[in-house]
Structure 1
């Protein structure tokens, strides 16, 4: 049931805000650790977003759409990578170009979000992992983006839960640089208040690296804005994208503000610089999932790279894609045409028609053909 505006504002302790698709800014120093919300909301939000995942065939369709010519796969020369069972190895993949730029430095970054990390993370199980795979069979090496166990506060209380956080559920790389991003959208942050009352928040977290030896953590929702009515259930890292030059990181957080969703923009080269983010909207955008998917590209011919963000339950369930500048100011939007088609579930960008501009490819996997009398539903379309 939709909460009334009065009740929502009273619960949030915030004044009414009817601003829609505006951008807000904050300093990176403001993103301090939060002291978070209740346990029930964390369980429901964790399952809420992932229950709507559909088969990865759509991703293959989007990748193939980036080629305007037919081709044959070299079957005698294919490469196979296999890891431990039940780790969900291959849940996410991204091509990585090494710093040298030569073909021999290229590799494949593969996520295994249920990989058991208990051998190198004390007190943590199945935190998930990321692998760097080469161009020969079985040439996959574990990359330890995070080797530490759960951290504690000054009172000695555990303040986070890394077990089952799904590190590797999202991986992304820059096109022309060596930046790698790996995210754990089910990472839980919590703390004990002085009266020992536990609060849990599935805020999510991401890690970046260039040389796969030094790693930086970015967790934009680990703030004092606890609770699902604010940013406590944001699940940052559900989607992520890196700019072509590798100087900017975008993180999707579809669980912020009653699952309206939110997107962050970071300067990777200078983390101390201003952090940009989308603002909270009115209650009509609750459960819209802004940040469910994203991709970068130059979509308006201004020589600057933009960010396209999926909002598959937005616009009254028609689905919506928001295209913003790097500083999260809006350029234009696209809206789906059929209720429930999940328009914006998956996004890709490439120059399909060869005119020198990036084309935006949008997936709607739950689309059904009107007038279909054969009982075929959710056929999907791109």
Structure 2
């Protein structure tokens, strides 16, 4: 309160004390441990509307120094005769600022016509075959498949069978070879053998060698394939098979415990932990978990199996999605070593997650123990869904360096908006920074300081900032005369650059001498720096500590330990014992303020609350003491605040007088009461924070029943845990602090909360006047301890009366509003516990049929069904018939 009469002055000839700041940072380029996909300047490829352009994506290495993109559009129309939505594959060469694509003509023929016994019949169906739904590249070859391609094995068959077909592009699109080994197998691929599934393997060299135009290849030299398994594997939706490297025979199945989770919808392999063996990742995009309300929610999951030996897979990590119906795990793409830390990284899609279901792609990085369980980067789709979801992330492909800058890149498909997006990796900058403050203990009596030569500063954009509480800035930078200083410095790769600066302490202009003076260094890369030769700006390592903070203390009059333990005493008496109605009643209150403790009392003041009958008139002058007081009014309270010293040194004894008039006496009161209090500022007040876990409670829980003989804590009801943290921000200790906790154990005489456990951590002493866990239930969780709190406003303590971390608690003080911790209670609508017996349902149906038959009979007898038709001619009837639907 006394600080209101102190005002800052314009910097000029100030009585200041310099203390010094040294800052040292190092930049090395390039280094690792960040995810750096450039989401601000991606290359966007677009295809024909409604073509599902982006349904599949792939990198294509055209030569040793050029990587392009191949994108599938399975619903695109082509120039093939009489073919509707046959599907297409687009080749998209990449160069800086260019993103154009053109169609690759794998097949330019219409449906084949075969002549048998002089009769022509259509042997295949290419319309709606979804060509381009799958694309893979290897060297100078591209394999593109049409999974819905249909073939008629016999002329007399009325319908064709969906067998699928593939085309192989050879030597950069100079030759195209068709390969369709399932033409003799009904429902090949995943539908083979009553949906057991089938895998066929053949070397591309053998396919190219055996191909002859017009000849239907059914097998090639060295082709292998899985055979039909036992009947128990029919319709086996539980999982996928793991195949050995040299054979495609079934080795063993990986089964999911969660039916319907689509475990195995996507499977990928990559050496995650850099042990030389490929590890397995399995996606289950429809995996369900229970939400906070106890209901099942579809979120998706990805399972990681580390290969510890040949075919020895160890379940290591389950990554569970957070977006309901987001289909997390729909696609898993190895990225290679995206951040050059020696471990391969992954991209996992959540194509229906994010804001407005625009889709997400999450980046996870590998390490020696497997895979990090939190994403380092989350890329959000930028297109809103139209008639179909944008499906951003439905297809992913990585592990190729598109722009040859040394970092692998990522392609993301969004077929719902006919887009494919290329995200390039930016170079990574790793920094090592330090901030030095000297001296850390500032003596205001010293008016200069020496600085070691050679301190510098670094990076391209540097922020050096001084922070403090209160309105008056206690310290300013010499260079800027402000509480902030900015530097911009260019640093070469591997170079060490440092900088020195000074700040001055405005000794005569502030009162707060107890709080630390904080100096922070906040640095970042220059956002306006020029692009590199690849059109990219570097990025800081995401683990870099960009904000470094140090502090300095003002030397206090508190002995060698710089800790003040003042003991303030106050005595007061008036110069008259009686006052009279109708008189001015001049009154002088003489007080004696003493500090009998060890060390000075900083910002010490005398606080006087005036009664409504009195007015303040001035200070009784004393040649030995120069007293300064300010008169303030807040709401209906009028008070004086008198400065007693900053600091009020140990052993100080002050005598002074305050003059008042008492003109407004009333005969209803017999006394006039002045309230006097001696105060000091204390910077080591504790800070209290709290949180409720969970943030809300749904009651009653799903399938919960009241137990007459509870044995465990779950039998009572849902757990509520309140966590409290009390921090002393120093520099001094507090001799005694108390915290009072209370909670509503009952409402209207009925039990509401059950105090389960009271525990302590550290040198704490907790007591309670209520029984804790009187039923002796089995406790499955550790709870936090009771704490203490000091109240600055009241200058008093509050006492611990009761502790129970599993109820709603309120921190009480004697003169301020209580700090409340509230856990909202949401009532669930319970499903009916009573089901209708089957015999009642059957009886009701039979009774209804009997009543209907009786009604029909009565209407028949009354001649209801003998009425004449409203339309006479057959032509009129035909005109009333609805038109047939054009498409089912």
Q: TM-score of the superposition, structure 2-length normalised?
A: 0.27
How far residue 262 of structure 1 moved from its aligned partner, in angstroms, is 0.4
Tell me, yes or no, if the aligned pair for 2:243 and 2:250 is still in contact at 8 Å: yes
How far residue 372 of structure 1 moved from its aligned partner, in angstroms, is 5.9
Tell me, yes or no, if the aligned pair for 1:345 and 1:363 is still in contact at 8 Å: yes
How far residue 331 of structure 1 moved from its aligned partner, in angstroms, is 4.1
Q: Which structure has the bigger radius of gyration?
A: 2
> Is 1:219 matched with 2:177?
no
The secondary structure found in structure 2 opposite 1:97 is strand
Tell me, yes or no, if the aligned pair for 1:323 and 1:333 is still in contact at 8 Å: no
Pick the aligned partner of 2:64 from 101, 115, 120: 101
Paired position in structure 2 for 1:156: 120
Pick the aligned partner of 2:169 from 209, 232, 253: 209
How far residue 192 of structure 1 moved from its aligned partner, in angstroms, is 5.4
How far residue 334 of structure 1 moved from its aligned partner, in angstroms, is 2.4
How far residue 287 of structure 1 moved from its aligned partner, in angstroms, is 1.9
**Can you list the C-alpha shifts for 1:204-224, whole angstroms capped at 9, x where unaligned?**
11111132231111111101x
Flag structure 2 segments of 5+ consecutive residues without an equivalent.
1-31, 208-219, 303-888
How far residue 275 of structure 1 moved from its aligned partner, in angstroms, is 1.2
Pairwise mapping of residues 145-294 of structure 1 onto structure 2 (< 5 A)?
Answer: 145-154=106-115, 155-174=119-138, 177-190=139-152, 193=155, 196-210=156-170, 211-223=172-184, 231-234=185-188, 253-271=189-207, 272-288=220-236
Determine the C-alpha separation between the residues in 1 that align with 2:102 and 2:110.
21
How far residue 168 of structure 1 moved from its aligned partner, in angstroms, is 0.5
How far residue 94 of structure 1 moved from its aligned partner, in angstroms, is 1.3
The secondary structure found in structure 2 opposite 1:221 is helix
Tell me, yes or no, if the aligned pair for 2:149 and 2:164 is still in contact at 8 Å: yes
The secondary structure found in structure 1 opposite 2:242 is strand
Q: 1:191 and 1:280, CA in 2 relative to 1: closer, same or farther beyond 3 A?
A: closer
Determine the C-alpha separation between the residues in 2 that align with 1:261 and 1:376.
30
Tell me, yes or no, if the aligned pair for 1:91 and 1:113 is still in contact at 8 Å: yes
Determine the C-alpha separation between the residues in 2 that align with 1:284 and 1:346.
23
> Is 1:355 matched with 2:278?
no
Q: TM-score of the superposition, structure 1-length normalised?
A: 0.62
Q: 1:374 and 1:145, CA in 2 relative to 1: closer, same or farther beyond 3 A?
A: farther
How far residue 339 of structure 1 moved from its aligned partner, in angstroms, is 1.8
How far residue 130 of structure 1 moved from its aligned partner, in angstroms, is 0.3
Tell me, yes or no, if the aligned pair for 1:191 and 1:199 is still in contact at 8 Å: no
Tell me, yes or no, if the aligned pair for 1:110 and 1:132 is still in contact at 8 Å: yes
How far residue 328 of structure 1 moved from its aligned partner, in angstroms, is 1.4
Q: 1:148 and 1:353, CA in 2 relative to 1: closer, same or farther beyond 3 A?
A: same
Q: Aligned pairs, how many?
A: 253
The secondary structure found in structure 1 opposite 2:199 is strand
Determine the C-alpha separation between the residues in 1 that align with 2:230 and 2:265.
22
> Is 1:142 matched with 2:106?
no
Higher helix share: 1
Pairwise mapping of residues 128-139 of structure 1 onto structure 2 (< 5 A)?
Answer: 128-136=87-95, 137-139=98-100
Determine the C-alpha separation between the residues in 2 that align with 1:262 and 1:335.
17
Tell me, yes or no, if the aligned pair for 1:325 and 1:331 is still in contact at 8 Å: no
How far residue 347 of structure 1 moved from its aligned partner, in angstroms, is 1.5
How far residue 191 of structure 1 moved from its aligned partner, in angstroms, is 5.5
**Can you list the C-alpha shifts for 1:286-319, whole angstroms capped at 9, x where unaligned?**
223xxxxxxxxxxxxxxxxxxxxxxxx1xxx3x2
The secondary structure found in structure 2 opposite 1:255 is helix
CA RMSD of aligned residues (A): 2.1
Determine the C-alpha separation between the residues in 1 that align with 2:127 and 2:106.
15
Flag structure 1 segments of 5+ consecutive residues without an equivalent.
1-67, 224-230, 235-252, 289-312
Pairwise mapping of residues 32-43 of structure 1 onto structure 2 (< 5 A)?
Answer: none
Q: 1:191 and 1:351, CA in 2 relative to 1: closer, same or farther beyond 3 A?
A: closer
Determine the C-alpha separation between the residues in 2 that align with 1:160 and 1:258.
23
Paired position in structure 1 for 2:76: 115
Tell me, yes or no, if the aligned pair for 1:113 and 1:169 is still in contact at 8 Å: yes
Tell me, yes or no, if the aligned pair for 1:157 and 1:191 is still in contact at 8 Å: no
